[in-house]
Amino acid sequence: MKISKITLFLPLYLIMASCGTSKDAIIYESKPPIDNSKDVIPYGNNEKGNSVYESEINGNDSDEHGCRPSAGYTWSIIKKECLRVFELNMKLYNADKTQMTSAIFSTDKNQVEIFTPQGSLILDKETETIYKTTLKENQKFFRIVNNKWQFGTVSTNKIEFQEI
């Protein structure tokens, strides 16, 4: 008696087909179900196949001036634009060189903006080589000594950052 290949493999095929997982289970293993509570369409998928929403992407945030802090942008009061502090030409470092700050001058050189870890400060020109904050409490200076700019506190004469 001759058995056809179809007769031999049909039961095997039916057994294998009945043991498989559902299509929905396979989809949900790689991608979670869409959360309908969010009124946001996923921007794309990450390397694991999970949805990535536009608000989770670096550079997709913005502050009150439209600058994108996660992309390194900070608002400059003097320039009235977003800029990257670490790209500015004038860089100053603390004594052990673990922190960096930057400075930019206004076009007329009457003010300088210092970008500290706590935020930016505007200092007004007193002389050709000295700038100071207008507030007398915890007043800051920006001065040039031996052709190097220094930033510090007036009352203690402590230098916090300086050019190298």
Domains annotated for the chain, with CATH where assigned, are: 85-162 (2.40.128)
Specify the higher pLDDT residue, 108 or 36. Answer: 108
Give backbone dihedrals phi and psi of 116, rounded to 5 degrees, phi first: -95, 170
Q: How far apart are CA 149 and CA 141, in angstroms?
A: 10
Q: Is 37 buried (19+), middle (13-18) or exposed (0-12) by CB count in 10 A?
A: exposed
What confidence score (pLDDT) does residue 29 get? 41
Specify the higher pLDDT residue, 36 or 136. Answer: 136
Which candidate, 103, 104, 97, 115, places its Cα nearest to that of 164? 97
For residue 57, give the amino acid letter: I
Q: pTM above 0.75?
A: no
